[in-house]
Structure 1
């Protein structure tokens, strides 16, 4: 497992940023998949089974925090959803908590630091989801 590349799905509507993140993370040993729209993320998560979904929160049609809620239904239990935005840290923290994301990273974090943070998320266990209450009879 130590030799296995972590797969990252990066979702952002800025193709230049996607290119930068793809080149950067690939250089640090990640397998990177990019997507330019909030639409279709659930399908892509189901098909590609990423270890991480690094997703912008500011899309015109559907906000990234809402996409997390939708895509999580199709993700494996190992997939970690991380909000990735230029928004201020307090807003990102609140959105991550409200959306059920596993965390957040500011877009100002690039290169080696981004790779280190993703590795840290990989080692961090996901809090257990609360059990769904049984229907009343």
Structure 2
């Protein structure tokens, strides 16, 4: 499950954002200030950090610079300021996006998913999941000398699942990452593609399977 660290000195905002992201299928870590956030990052590397700009002791811009000076963790800034100069300061500090309070919960989720999707595209061109080797350049899936060629959406779906073994991806996240956040279809499309990839994987190797996490989504498992 993808981990998101939320940093805000306002306990109400911290709880609100945490609940929303937990419901979206993320594992949420919480910090009430920049110093606490840096300690959490050092101990347990999150996939993304949501940072409030106006915090005492260490503001969000400073925290963002510190995060980006030593890691490649993406950062999304939350702030009550919407002026162009403030946005510029946020991006210059190294943030990936900027959301102005008050914000629609869905907008925050869309922007987080879009950032994570961009970072997924920067992953190595080759993904290994047990005996499965995925070549994102040639769009081939290999097990030993067996080659599987999948339609594009099926290939992208398998690549997302294989990029983080045993990580549960929610249905919404999979739809947004493979079909785009503006996709207007329904979950049946995802169900059909999951079924097709499962059937093809089973023929290729019995050691890799897509598991259903009821009420949440799917994850890729490598069996012993």
TM range (shorter): 0.7 to 0.9
User: How many angstroms apart in 2 are the aligned matches of 1:70 and 1:6?
Assistant: 22
Report the 3-state secondary structure (helix = DSSP H, G, I; strand = E; otherwise coil) of the residue aligned with 2:16.
helix
Deviation at residue 100 of structure 1 after TM alignment: 1.4
Q: Please state which structure has a larger fraction of its residues in helix.
A: 2
Unaligned segments of structure 2, at least 5 residues: 123-224
Which has the bigger relative contact order, CA under 8 A and spacing at least 6?
A: 1
Equivalent pair of 2:51/2:75 in contact (CA under 8 Å)? yes
Select the residue among 45, 50, 60 that pairs with 1:49.
Answer: 45
Matched, 1:98 2:109: no
What residue number does 1:109 align with? Answer: 103
Select the residue among 30, 35, 55 that pairs with 2:31.
Answer: 35
User: How many angstroms apart in 2 are the aligned matches of 1:45 and 1:110?
Assistant: 27
| Shift in CA distance, 48/74, structure 1 to aligned 2, threshold 3 Å | farther
Equivalent pair of 2:9/2:55 in contact (CA under 8 Å)? yes
Equivalent pair of 2:97/2:111 in contact (CA under 8 Å)? no
Bigger Rg, structure 1 or 2: 2
Deviation at residue 46 of structure 1 after TM alignment: 2.0
Select the residue among 16, 32, 50 that pairs with 2:12.
Answer: 16
What residue number does 1:134 align with? Answer: none
Deviation at residue 89 of structure 1 after TM alignment: 4.7
| Shift in CA distance, 42/73, structure 1 to aligned 2, threshold 3 Å | farther
CA displacement 1:19-72 (0-9 Å, x = unmatched): 111111111111111111122322211222111111011112121101111123
TM-score (norm 1): 0.78
